[in-house]
Amino acid sequence: MIRIAIFASGSGSNAEKISEYFAEKPNVEISLILTNNPLAGVIMRARKLHIPVVIFDKKTFYDTDRILQLLQNEKTDFIVLAGFMMLIPDFLVKAYPEKIVNIHPALLPKHGGKGMYGHFVHEAVVAAKETESGITIHFVNERYDEGNIISQITCEVSATDTPDDVAKKVQVLEHENYPKVIEEVITKIKTD
């Protein structure tokens, strides 16, 4: 059994899609959802899915090892970031090398880095007059959006697309592909 913890800061639509996908897989369990936002929509989604939720603050995350201890106590094998807005601390990256994945709503290395998330990314894509965008699924390292790329899936961006139009196209790609790519990565880890 592979135990996955999901970190999310927002509405949690990706966390929900991932949880629903793996509910059908007997060898994988979403054991925990963690958030730094006590008002995050992901909390209600997790409760609806009967997945335990942990809410933590910035000081706990960066200045203590409580989250790491919790993950280890829960026998967490793999971590998925799904709209999580905080940089992962070095000690957590070192404890889970190549076992933390993130999704970025653009084709890295373009439109990545600190402050580039959600609507900011889609606005940058439109402002740059890109003809395509998409998602990048990557391993997490100590810097925003710089870990090794696992997969990129593209969508067309037309000259008349607004940032909202791009966001809708990208979210479809996220929901369709993120769970499948996670499954591919954890299958590879199991066989290594």
49-96 per-position pLDDT tens digit: 999 999 999 999 999 999 999 999 999 999 999 999 999 999 999 999
More confident residue, 152 or 190: 152
Q: What are phi and psi of 114, to 5 degrees?
A: -55, 130
- CB atoms < 10 A from the CB of 107, how many? 20
DSSP state of 29: E
Tokens of 64: 């203590």
- pLDDT for residue 189: 76
CATH topology (fold) of 2-191:
Rossmann fold (3.40.50)
Cα(143)–Cα(135) distance, integer angstroms? 18
Catalytic one of 104, 111, 122, 138 = 104
For residue 104, indicate whether it is catalytic: yes
**pTM of the full structure:** 0.96
Task: Note the maximum CA span of the chain.
Answer: 50
Domain ranges of the chain: 2-191
- pLDDT for residue 63: 97
